[in-house]
Amino acid sequence: LNNTSSNFIKSIVKEDLATGKHDQIITRFPPEPNGYLHIGHAKSIVLNFELADEFGGKTNLRFDDTNPLKEDTEFVNSIKKDIEWLGYEWDGYHFASDYFDEMYDRAVLLIKKGLAYVEDLSQEEIREYRGTLTEPGKESPSRSRSIEENLDLFERMKNGEFGNGEKVLRAKIDMSSPNINMRDPVLYRISHTTHHNTGDKWCIYPMYSFAHPLEDAIEGVTHSICTLEFEDQRPLYNWVVEKCEMEAKPKQIEFARLNLTNTVMSKRKLKLLVDENYVDGWDDPRMPTLSGLRRRGFTPESIKQFCREIGVARADNTVDVRMLEHFIREDLKMKAPRTMSVLHPLKVVITNYPEGEVEWLDAEINPENEEMGTRKIPFSREIYIEQSDFMENPPKKYFRLFPGNEVRLKHAYFIKCNEVIKDDAGNVVELHCTYDPETKSGTGFTGRKVKGTLHWVEATQSKEAEFRLYDSLVLDEGRGNDFLDHINPNSLEVAHGYVEPNMVDAKPNDKFQFFRHGYFNVDPKDSVDGKLVFNRIVELKSSFKL
């Protein structure tokens, strides 16, 4: 696994450097600050930053903030934080809105060249005039306005003389082009809205398809990498760069966006989940946002390796979300301390163990990484085991605890179940067992074998903890607009149980492997003031193979 494997974009870059078209490449990551970044954005971040890095180039972070209605400084800050968390450093740091003056001047240039005009038609009329794939568009009456009149009207648009939607500026290209994007696309619209960066300076704002090529060209971006939906816009992108007489000639290259199974991957939809309280904020551990994945316990390394491994192609596909889980297991396997926790406790009294006595047993911290050493865990007359590790009337091949059966307690002794205590309703509330001192772990006891090994915690020393167990937020791809109908009602299960006493020292975002339960992260928001909260990152095993 490495980032030096080849892809079609690297081939283009190599060629452009070899032919001397560029001495140095510049890429950019251009998020719109209208939401938090998600794992799909990570694919673009890894691609842009590592591409530039590999070829000694630069990568700019540029906020594509041309739509004042949706953008906010909260999102700017979260985006910066997420990119830094992934471990990348941007070269240039820009806001598209810093270029509004230059964009305005370039629009005026287009008007002067007879390549843009002010349109009086409504949005709906413009759509009607535009035609369809099989029918050419119709020219608007505004198209024949004189250059002088267009210059005057555009300036008055800028000066606030018209209301929202009353006029737009359009490119004059070709109303019968087979590419609908070329049928006199809108370049500027009126929006009397305060902008997060420029305040009330502007009431006209450039459209994405006009602004984006200019932004790239102004910054000298050489390779402008975007997702496949923009393929049909490439002729317009090139038209803008050329007709606006931009010195730099960036090349737009499209690649397939990341789709993940059982994952909603659109800021608009994720925002809806937040705004309608389906989740507890953008950083809810079930969210595919980078802040959600971080809070869940994913590491930057696991996300980057995932992004490198899925590769870059031009064909749309959907990646199994279990592949992402594979990479966090890989990353944590050697690093995360192992420990025992009981999520759904059942009390066990070891009747032949001396009352009031506590012994401290040795336990390895990570059998796959001996350097991590050992820890001490308490054992006494009262312990907790997992409710699901006991059955009064077990089926065949159940090797855990049942009346008369003997099992091994991890790092401790064999215990045998002698008596089942129930409440008035008939629920099992306690087990009475006996232990065999001869069977102590680490003494090399070989006298007899048992088939089941259970995890457990000692009852008087262990710490209470909350465990949050997650399942996918949506039951399908979440791609349709009816995704709210496919919300998984069981995406969060909260359990209350116990962890080993040394866990009181656990800090926010510390990661552990809980024996048999999976990898967990100390919740950075709610695990405070002695109240321990653990988020399950992922279970231990998966049928998924790379």
Other CB atoms within a 10 A radius of the CB of residue 477 amount to 16
Quote the longest CA-to-CA distance of the chain: 101
Stretch that binds Mg ion, among 27-35, 358-366, 503-511, 519-527 (CB under 5 A): 27-35
- Shortest distance (Å) from residue 217 CB to ligand ATP: 16
Residue 412 as a binder of ligand ATP (CB under 6 A): the answer is: no
Whose Cβ is closer to ligand ATP: residue 266's or residue 441's?
266
Q: Which does 440 bind (CB under 5 to 8 A by kind): Mg ion, ligand ATP, none?
A: none
In the shown chain, the binding pattern of residues 434 to 453 toward ligand ATP, with x for contact by CB under 6 A and - for none, equals --------------------
Query: At a CB cut-off of 8 Å and minimum separation 6, what does 28 contact?
Result: 48, 59, 60, 61, 62, 92, 216, 219, 221, 224
Q: What angle do CA 445, 376, 369 make, to 5 degrees?
A: 80
Stretch that binds Mg ion, among 31-39, 72-80, 333-341, 378-386 (CB under 5 A): 31-39
- Shortest distance (Å) from residue 304 CB to ligand ATP: 14
Residue 265 as a binder of ligand ATP (CB under 6 A): the answer is: yes
Q: Can 257 be counted among the known catalytic residues?
A: yes
Q: Which member of 170, 183, 267, 468 is catalytic?
A: 267
Distance (Å, rounded) from C-alpha 305 to C-alpha 290?
14
Whose Cβ is closer to ligand ATP: residue 31's or residue 300's?
31
Whose Cβ is closer to ligand ATP: residue 41's or residue 106's?
41
The encoded tokens of residue 38 equal 């998600």
410 assigned binding-site residue: no
Contact 473, 489 (CB under 8 A): no
First and final CA of the chain: distance in angstroms? 12
- Shortest distance (Å) from residue 116 CB to ligand ATP: 25
Contact 488, 471 (CB under 8 A): yes
- Shortest distance (Å) from residue 319 CB to ligand ATP: 10
Residue 227 as a binder of ligand ATP (CB under 6 A): the answer is: yes
Contact 290, 38 (CB under 8 A): yes
Q: What is the dihedral of CA 260, 263, 269, 271, to 10 degrees?
A: -110
78 assigned binding-site residue: no
Whose Cβ is closer to ligand ATP: residue 257's or residue 333's?
257
44 assigned binding-site residue: yes
Q: Would you put residue 304 in left (φ > 0), alpha (ψ -120 to 50) or beta?
A: alpha
Lookup result for tokens 């630069």: 58
Whose Cβ is closer to Mg ion: residue 32's or residue 359's?
32
Lookup result for tokens 């452009």: 16
82 assigned binding-site residue: no
- Shortest distance (Å) from residue 258 CB to ligand ATP: 4
101 assigned binding-site residue: no
Stretch that binds ligand ATP, among 24-32, 81-89, 134-142, 433-441 (CB under 6 A): 24-32
Whose Cβ is closer to ligand ATP: residue 260's or residue 499's?
260
Whose Cβ is closer to ligand ATP: residue 249's or residue 479's?
479
Q: Does an H or E element contain 130, and which? A: helix 123-130
The encoded tokens of residue 226 equal 């975007």
DSSP state, residue 516: T
Binding ligand ATP (rule: CB under 6 A), the pick from 253, 258, 363, 532 is: 258
Whose Cβ is closer to ligand ATP: residue 258's or residue 290's?
258
The encoded tokens of residue 292 equal 């959600």
257 assigned binding-site residue: yes
Distance (Å, rounded) from C-alpha 282 to C-alpha 273?
9
Q: Would you put residue 54 in left (φ > 0), alpha (ψ -120 to 50) or beta?
A: alpha
Contact 389, 414 (CB under 8 A): no
Other CB atoms within a 10 A radius of the CB of residue 272 amount to 14
| Nearest alpha carbon to residue 47 among 88, 80, 102 | 88
Contact 328, 297 (CB under 8 A): yes
Q: Can 32 be counted among the known catalytic residues?
A: yes
- Shortest distance (Å) from residue 340 CB to ligand ATP: 39
- Shortest distance (Å) from residue 210 CB to ligand ATP: 15
Binding to ligand ATP (CB under 6 A) within 64-123 occurs at 64
Residue 295 as a binder of ligand ATP (CB under 6 A): the answer is: no
Contact 516, 339 (CB under 8 A): no
| E-state strands within 139-234 | 168-171, 186-190, 204-206, 223-227
Q: What angle do CA 485, 489, 490 make, to 5 degrees?
A: 150
In the shown chain, the binding pattern of residues 26 to 45 toward ligand ATP, with x for contact by CB under 6 A and - for none, equals ----xxx-------xx-xx-
In the shown chain, the binding pattern of residues 32 to 61 toward Mg ion, with x for contact by CB under 5 A and - for none, equals x-----------------------------
The encoded tokens of residue 517 equal 């339960």
Rounded to 5 degrees, φ, ψ at 443 are -95, -5
- Shortest distance (Å) from residue 32 CB to Mg ion: 5
Binding ligand ATP (rule: CB under 6 A), the pick from 3, 191, 193, 266 is: 266
Q: What residue ranges bind Mg ion (CB under 5 A)? A: 32
What residues are designated binding site for ATP? 32-34, 38-44, 227, 257-258, 265-267
What residues are designated binding site? 32-34, 38-44, 64, 208, 227, 257-258, 265-267
Q: What residue ranges bind ligand ATP (CB under 6 A)? A: 30-32, 40-41, 43-44, 64, 226-227, 257-258, 265-267
The catalytic site residues sit at: 32, 257, 267
